[in-house]
Amino acid sequence: MSPRRAFLFLSSGAFLFAISGIVSKWVMEAGLTPWRLTEVRTTGSFVALLIYLALNGRIHQLRPRKGEVGLLTLFGIIGIAAVQSFYFFSILRLHVSTALIIEFTAPIWIVLYLRLIKKVKINNSMWLGLIAAFIGLILVGEVWKGLTLNGLGVISSFIDALSLASYFFLSRALGKLRSTETMLVWGFGITAVLYALVQPWWSFPFRIFTKPIDLNGHFVGHHLPGWLLIGFIVLFGTVLPYLCVVIGINALTPQAASIIGMLEPLFAGAFGWILLKETFTTIQLIGAAVVLGGIFIANEKIPDGVSNV
């Protein structure tokens, strides 16, 4: 796959994750906790992909081969469960923009790991683009406004960033061994089991599925049934974006893919402005431009072939 197609997949994933954030906000404002939302979205995604494989006669492909069980387990626990859980814990204790900025230090940890531990030569354009994109995110998030640092929140955010960095490496490693769909079935399945143990399904607030959920922003005064919004989050906010991101990761280096992931906060801000009537300041617009410039610079010298890193 060419770098351009990989960029399209990764940016599409960021786009879908961002719009899902808006829908998720409506559902959580209706009373469903972030933890329960994570539980239903991962379990629903697991079931959806499992049905897809069954209909295509590919269930047998789920059988792990020698050396895969450890990677698949880590992918489920760290790549999906930890990334989502630590993020939700972070936004409960920190300003959302602060949590996002810390989470998207993931590309920095990836590049530092490759340079200092693996001794991989990093292009100057990658360093420059990474720094520019991160500064742009700080401007977009305007973290200096209402900034409150909570110790546990900061620790959780950095763990989330490291988990996100691990997700890119694990996705790349597993992508060489099995298909994207079977990888995600394992990841979502492991996460679903972990959440079911912590939050048994018999205590799930099933009334949320039949409850009319009020919308806000440009859609104030309108409502949609909970099952429709949750179904959207599962299919278009989880299954499709994860498929897009994993496919993109397998065609690029982990550092390049993670930097493209920085588009998600930009899309989230744009959707907040369009759908929720949230405002964009001049500083945020400048920051968005800097992020886009940084992503372009960082990916400018990516070769047509797939890196071995």
Query: Is 307 among the domain residues?
Result: no
What range defines the domain where residue 68 resides? Answer: 3-298
What single DSSP character describes residue 225?
Answer: E
Residue 78 inside a domain? The answer is yes
Between CA 50 and CA 186 the distance in angstroms is: 10
Residue 58: inside a domain, yes or no?
yes
The torsion defined by the Cα of 67, 68, 69 and 72, in degrees rounded to 10, comes to 150
Q: Could you tell me if residue 305 is inside a domain?
A: no
Number of domains into which the chain is organized: 1
Residue 102 Cα distances to 212, 216, 296, 297, angstroms: 35, 28, 21, 22
In a domain, 184, yes or no: yes
Asked if the structure places residue 276 within a domain, the reply is: yes
Phi-psi region at 306: left, alpha or beta (left = phi > 0; alpha = psi -120 to 50): beta
Residue 197 falls inside a structural domain: yes
Are the C-beta atoms of 141 and 97 separated by less than 8 Å? yes
Residue 36 in any domain: the answer is yes
Q: Does the pTM exceed 0.85?
A: no
DSSP-assigned states of every residue in 68-118? THHHHHHIIIIIIIIHHHHHHHHHHHS-HHHHHHHHTTHHHHHHHIIIIIS
Q: What is the chain's pLDDT, residue by residue, as a tens digit (309 residues)?
A: 777 888 899 999 989 988 888 888 888 888 888 889 889 999 999 999 999 999 988 898 888 887 788 899 999 999 898 988 888 788 777 766 667 778 878 888 888 888 888 888 878 888 888 888 888 877 876 766 655 567 787 888 889 999 999 998 898 888 888 888 999 999 999 999 999 999 999 999 999 999 999 887 777 788 899 999 999 999 999 999 999 988 888 888 787 888 888 788 778 777 777 776 666 677 877 888 888 888 888 776 544 433 434
Q: Would you say 281 and 272 are in contact if contact means Cβ atoms under 8 Å apart?
A: no
